[in-house]
Amino acid sequence: MYGMINEAMRRLVTEKSGELVWSRIAARANTPEHFAMLHYYDDAVTYDLLMAASLELEASSADLLRDFGHYWSTRVGPENYRDILGAAGTDVVSVLTNLDEMHSRIQALYPDLRPPSFEVHDVGLSDIEVHYRSERAGLAPFVIGLLEGLGDLYGTPAVVTHTLHKSETQRYDVFHVNLGT
């Protein structure tokens, strides 16, 4: 993953818990404390940071990923990709529908980017189903936080349920999202 992911994780941890805690996490993960935003790092670096943060903060990796997903969609995305995000849409459904196209635009900046794919299906007046495909394992909690955060960003509370889990027979995760309960 690109350094921007690890830097955003560092920023979240330092805002919530301080620089010293981040230093201990980086040391525990045997990684640098700071990352070059445009440099590509092996995915193992990010997973090691997640495991170290889980131990240091005494929180489950699922809870940390969910918080990070929320942080990404409410802070990192709007601050770093405002123009691209704005072009993707003005509400949760339009942004999610255009997310793959947005990732394609970002790929011009990050040629090694291996983004996930999102497919949106209407299932009711205020309900959608999101199909999430990724070559990376274990990031479903991040997606839950991302979806909840998009709801907060656009003033549409999102209640997210992970209804189908990716497996050898199921090729993608499925999330039911209720917007506006």
Q: Same structural domain for residues 103 and 14?
A: no
Query: Interhelix angle for 3-17 vs 43-57, to 10°?
Result: 10
CATH (domain of 137): 3.90.1520.10
Q: Same structural domain for residues 123 and 38?
A: no
- Average the pLDDT over each of 20-24, 26-30, 96-100, 137-141 and give the range with the smallest value: 96-100
Q: Same structural domain for residues 34 and 76?
A: no
Q: Is-contact 139 64, C-beta < 8 A? A: no
pLDDT of 103-141, one tens digit each?
887 788 788 889 999 999 988 889 999 999 999 999 999
The pTM of the full predicted model, rounded to 2 decimals, is 0.93
pLDDT of 40-69, one tens digit each?
999 999 999 999 999 999 999 999 999 999
The number of distinct structural domains making up the chain is 2
* Owning domain of residue 53: 3-59
Q: Same structural domain for residues 107 and 20?
A: no
Q: Same structural domain for residues 41 and 90?
A: no
| CA end-to-end distance (rounded Å), the chain | 35
Q: Same structural domain for residues 116 and 44?
A: no
Q: Give 86: exposed, middle or buried? Use CB within 10 Å, 0-12, 13-18, 19+.
A: exposed
Cβ-proximal residues to 105 (8 Å cutoff; 6+ apart), any chain = 84, 87
Q: Same structural domain for residues 55 and 76?
A: no
Tell me which of 35, 59, 83 is where a domain ends.
59
Q: Please, which residues bridge with residue 118 across strands?
A: 132
Q: Is-contact 171 177, C-beta < 8 A? A: no
Res 87: pLDDT:
63
The mean of the pLDDT values for the chain is 92
Q: Is-contact 145 73, C-beta < 8 A? A: yes
